[in-house]
């Protein structure tokens, strides 16, 4: 099963899944909006069913939200309502694909980078599409920082195709990838009790 087929199949179940830690999610949104300005054009890659994009859209000029799963995009569009000027534009696209409307002021990727085929390729595309002085805001699962038993369990779940393919990387490796792509890492923090998914704000030099 391809990654796209996996997420198309799991999209309806994913859409019904409640937020695990609402307080941590709200803290993340607060930190994201602190980076944003009303005039910003924002790209979100790997938007899933579009919840975060819908939260961000009212405080910026425009949000383009992408996901490579056609079913995720279908659900996102179904859930989006109201004034067209205040909701995201949803597009089916790969994480490393060039998106119309670039360069963007801010690009976001939440719970995505550990799921792509090649992190450097995706980060090169992000760097290319963000404006000089613009920001890349991400939150990424870093399983190499997890206990050995957890990593072993994830590998078993991947083998039997219960879990998607995951890149096992550490926070330090993720930071090196960002710096290697040309970004400056300005902020790294965690929300709630989860210490495996760093929230990172990186900046493209002006």
Give the DSSP letter string of the chain: --HHHHHHHHHHHHHHPPPS-HHHHHHHHHHHHHH--TT-EEEEES-TTSHHHHHHGGGSSEEEEEES-HHHHHHHHHH--S-GGGSPEEEE--TTS--TTPSEEEEEEES-GGGSS-HHHHHHHHHHHEEEEEEEEEE---GGGS-HHHHHHHHHHHHTTSS-------HHHHHHHHHHHT-EEEEEE--TT--SS-EEEEE---
Local confidence band at 82 (pLDDT 50, 70, 90 cut-offs) = low
pLDDT of residue 96: 96
HSE, side-chain direction, 13 A CA sphere, residue 154: 18
pLDDT averaged over every residue in the chain: 94
Whether residue 83 has pLDDT greater than 70: no
Whether residue 1 has pLDDT greater than 80: no
Local confidence band at 113 (pLDDT 50, 70, 90 cut-offs) = very high
pTM of the model: 0.95
pLDDT of residue 87: 87
Overall average pLDDT of the 98-106 stretch:
96
Render pLDDT for 3-47 as a digit per residue (tens, 0 to 9). 888 899 988 898 889 998 999 999 999 999 999 999 999 999 999
Name the residue with tokens 């004034």: 83
Phi then psi dihedrals of residue 130, to 5 deg: -100, 145
Overall average pLDDT of the 102-111 stretch:
97
pLDDT of residue 3: 85
Domain ranges of the chain: 3-203
More confident: 183 or 8? 183
Overall average pLDDT of the 78-94 stretch:
82
Overall average pLDDT of the 175-182 stretch:
98
pLDDT of residue 10: 87
Render pLDDT for 139-148 as a digit per residue (tens, 0 to 9). 999 999 999 9
Q: Which CATH number fits domain 3-203: 3.40.50.150, 3.40.50.850, 2.60.40.10, 3.20.20.140?
A: 3.40.50.150
């Amino acid at each position: 099963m391809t990654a796209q087929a996996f997420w198309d199949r799991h999209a309806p179940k994913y859409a019904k899944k409640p937020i695990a830690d609402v307080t941590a999610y709200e803290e993340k949104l607060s930190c994201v909006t602190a980076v944003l300005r009303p005039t910003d054009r924002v790209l979100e890659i790997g938007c899933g069913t579009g919840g975060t994009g819908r939260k961000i859209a009212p405080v910026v000029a425009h949000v383009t939200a992408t996901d490579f799963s056609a079913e995720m995009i279908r659900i996102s569009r179904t859930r989006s309502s109201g004034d067209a000027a205040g909701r995201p534009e949803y597009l089916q696209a790969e994480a490393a694909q060039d998106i119309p409307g670039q360069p963007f002021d801010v690009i976001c990727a939440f719970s995505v980078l550990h799921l792509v085929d090649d992190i450097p390729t995706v980060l090169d595309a992000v760097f290319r599409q963000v404006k000089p002085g613009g920001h890349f805001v991400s939150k990424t699962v870093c399983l190499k920082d997890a206990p050995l038993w957890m990593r072993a369990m994830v590998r078993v779940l991947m083998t039997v195709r219960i879990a998607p393919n995951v890149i096992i990387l550490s926070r330090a490796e993720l930071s090196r990838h960002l710096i290697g792509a040309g970004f400056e890492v300005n902020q790294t923090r965690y929300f709630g009790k989860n210490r495996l998914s760093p929230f990172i704000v990186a900046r493209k030099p002006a």
